[in-house]
Chain A
Amino acid sequence: MKTLMTKINWFGLAGGITTIVLLVASFFYPWWQLTVGDDLLKANASPVNTNFGFLDTSFTIPFIWALNVVSLLTLLLSGIAMLVYSVMPTKSFSKPLLDFGYKKPLFTFLFFVIGLVVVTVILQAVLSINVPLMGSTTSTVPIPFSSGITVSVLLSAGFLWPFWLAAVAAGLCIAARLYHKKVAVAPSATTIK
């Protein structure tokens, strides 16, 4: 029993489960949310499901939807790979599964953060709209053909709990890779009686 316990990569198992939980949660809760005005416009962003809401109208941007599908499949396969690897870490196919799975939650997390920063920088540079990553700010919106009128909006943004869960999943998967060296050299069940 003790041998069986030592032959499971617990970090990998936790990382795989967290990744799958994160995937399901991301369908319902965004990682980052931006609110414009009094709930006039909402942007719900996550690598799995990004959508925008204007009052009762909800819409997605097709290119972002395609990237969401990529992230969805990536996280799903990563989670499955980590789970399979974790319970059989000494099998011949396990190391490739670990290599396939452990980096993806981290890359998804990093690409999401980099994407958000890039979008906010572009909005600032092109439209002069200051979108906060966290907190609230009032930004002036350029209105074409309306001289003498200034429109400023309250922008509130913040990271929600799935974002931090993603950080935990990425951390657990990295820990699984580091812990693999210990698990891989664990004595097999046939040698201990």
Chain B
Amino acid sequence: MDKIKLLLTLTTIAIVVIPIVGTLIAYQGNLLGLFIPPEVNEIADDLLSGGANGPGLEPPTMVGPPQYDEASQTVTLTFEYKNTFPFDITVNSMSGNIECDDHGFPLGDANLSKPVSIGAGETATLIVLGTWTEEAISHFQTAHAGEETADVSLVDLAVDIKGIKVQTNERIPISDVPVP
């Protein structure tokens, strides 16, 4: 009975020690590799630097002049966004606030019209719809009376990509927005 107990105790020690010591020996020249496999570094590089496709997290760039629809009081903004990641992404949402550049007056909010899928390294067009508030209409009529266009900015921009929300405090200038 003592022999059985001894055998079981030795077995317990062996099944604990052998795998751990074996792994330590295998990684004795690279102890960091025991805890951080090379895949983790590659993923971190891809996420932070954007891999080979570009500089990583970048705000979308505005293309073309804004279009205004008087009936719905909405302004259509067209952006280009380059997926610098080495994998396909889906832009689930994109939202922000629009402010008057001259007066800092809040004019309304802007939202992505529909989710957009972008392949790795590809550039896609994002259509963002901005809706003027009643206060914004009044602001345009009083503070920008007689002007045909005004300069505004998209602020507090938040982009949801694959469930990861990227928020930037950078102002995205939008020039020559038609005054209602």
Contact = CB atoms under 8 A, between A and B. Distances in A.
Contacts of A63: 23, 34-35
A151 B8 contact: no
B22 interface: yes
B125 interface: no
Interface residues of A, number: 42
Interface in A143-172: 143-146, 148-154
A97 B92 CA distance: 57
Contacts of A60: 37
A92 interface: yes
B14 to A, nearest CB: 9
B20 A100 contact: no
Interface in B80-123: 87, 90, 92
Contact of A40 (B164, B165, B167): B164
A73 interface: yes
Interface string B3-41: 011001001100110011011101100000111110110
A38 B165 CA distance: 11
B164 A153 contact: yes
Contacts of A97: 4, 8
Contacts of A59: 37, 39-40
Interface stretch (A6-14, A23-31, A64-72): A64-72
Interface of B: 1, 4-5, 8, 11-12, 15-16, 19-20, 22-24, 26-27, 33-37, 39-40, 42-43, 48, 56-57, 87, 90, 92, 162-170
24 contacts: A36-B164, A37-B163, A38-B90, A40-B162, A54-B43, A56-B87, A61-B35, A61-B36, A62-B26, A63-B34, A65-B23, A66-B19, A70-B15, A70-B20, A77-B15, A81-B8, A97-B8, A100-B12, A148-B168, A149-B167, A151-B164, A151-B166, A153-B164, A154-B164
